[in-house]
Amino acid sequence: MTTRGFICVAFALLALAACDQDALSAGKTDQSSAANIAVALDTCAQNHGPFARSVCSSPTLTALDRQVQRALVTASGNVSDAGAQLLVRNEARWLEAQRIGCGVASAATVLSPEQARCMEGQFRARAQQASTAVQQLGGYTFQRMELVDAAPVTPSMAQQSGLGVDAPAAIVRDIRFPRIDGPQTPEVQRFNDLVAQQPSVTLDEATNEIVDYRIVYAGPELISVRFDGSQDALGAAHPNSTSKAVTVLMGEGRELTESDVFQADTRWQDFITQRAVADLARQFREDGFTPPQRDVRETATKPHLWLVSERGLTILFPPYSFGAPYVMGGTDVTIPWADLRPYLNPAAPLPIRPAA
């Protein structure tokens, strides 16, 4: 498949997730029964092609595939028909991406020892991931959405990168984000739109792109999600890593702003900057590093770098964002709500305001 084809498939998947409202609201039918989903996920079923047969010729890979299958069948029982079908589609795309990533030709019926080891490592990781494909948190059912693709590294790509024969077999994309399954109310639809992630580079740009997430808090009034991503250009000295937060006010269907958290004219900016400088200096004491206050303030006061949890406000500091060299990486600072109370908006959503 061409890079353009991969991009089209990715956006088709997003379109299905965003637009198939009737199916998502309809609940469960026989088409998403455990038996039917198990059949759809069966890599070793007939007519799945030479590569599937090469996987299924290995007892180890077959056992791991069955483990993934069982976990996804269980997960499918907690989502709508459309959600169950997305689990199946995600798995098919994942398997195809691993084939390319491990350097296996589509017509291959036998895996080399190196390819078999590569596939085994990928399947073992997938078996762990499958158990969290659907999460029940804060009264919501979150389904992991996945844009997983790969494209072979061409000889010209390998030469231009300077890696030559040491170049990897493929460029990979693995972008993940949560999606609330079930009845698609306007509030749920807005959340799904706000947290959906899209590729920022194409595969033919010879750059791996990884995005993963963690739901930090989910409640009736807001949901706060952390995203960590990296882009790794072929032959680059190191990947470019970043972090961000998407915190959605569910009742209003918009992202959190500073006025949702803090009262104006309370000098909250000074307080969180000073707390962050002190915490960062403590974290990097052994390196003899004290962050410049100006850099810390610029980052600490940006709401798209704020995570909300029951404990407090977590400020994300991606690499380069607090005056430190890249080798120090990124970090975060958490300030308890109790310490922030003099500065907080009394009308802030839970869990920012104290529970009555």
Based on the fold, state whether residues 202 and 287 are members of the same structural domain. no
Question: Residue 36 is which amino acid?
Answer: N
In sequence order, which ranges of the chain are alpha helices (DSSP H)? 3-19, 21-25, 34-40, 49-56, 59-76, 81-101, 113-130, 155-161, 186-195, 258-261, 268-283, 293-300, 337-340
Residue with more model confidence, 3 or 100: 100
Same structural domain for residues 301 and 178?
no
Find which of 193-197, 200-204, 235-239 is predicted with most confidence, using mean pLDDT: 193-197
Question: Last residue of a domain, which of 198, 230, 255?
Answer: 255
- Is residue 14 in some structural domain? yes
Is residue 242 a part of any domain in this protein?
Answer: yes
Sign of the CA dihedral with 301 first, then 303, 304, and 306 last: positive
Average per-residue pLDDT for the chain: 89
Paired residues of 222 in beta bridges: 249
* Tens-place pLDDT, residues 265-282: 999 999 999 999 999 999
Q: Are residues 187 and 311 in the same domain?
A: no
What is the rounded CA–CA span in Å between residue 44 and residue 46?
7
pLDDT at 151 over 70: yes
In a domain, 350, yes or no: no
pTM above 0.85, yes or no: yes
Residue 284 in this model has a pLDDT that exceeds 80: yes
- Rounded to whole angstroms, the Cα distance separating 340 from 336 reads 7
Asked whether residue 243 falls in the same domain as residue 283, the answer is no
Same domain, 189 and 264: no
Query: Is 43 part of a structural domain of the chain?
Result: yes
Q: What is the pLDDT of residues 307-316, one digit of tens each?
A: 999 999 999 9
Q: Is 39 found in the same domain as 72?
A: yes
Do 250 and 283 fall into the same domain? no
- 255, 277, 293 — which closes off a domain? 255
Query: Tokens in use for 273?
Result: 């900057």
pLDDT band at 325 (very low <50, low <70, confident <90, very high): confident
Across 146-169, average pLDDT: 92
Structural domain contains residue 353: no
Q: What letter represents residue 186's amino acid?
A: P
DSSP secondary structure code for residue 262 in this structure: B
Judgement on whether residues 118 and 200 belong to the same structural domain of the protein: yes
- Residue indicated by tokens 């170049």: 167
Check residue 108 and give its pLDDT. Answer: 85
1-11 residue pLDDT tens: 343 443 344 44
Average pLDDT over residues 130-149: 96
Tens of pLDDT, residue by residue over 13-24, are: 444 444 444 444
Shared domain check, 190 and 65: yes
* Mean local confidence (pLDDT), 136-165: 94
**Residue-number span of the structural domain to which 130 is assigned:** 3-255
Indicate the number of domains in the chain.
Answer: 2
Q: What is the mean pLDDT of residues 60-65?
A: 94
- 296 shares its domain with 221: no
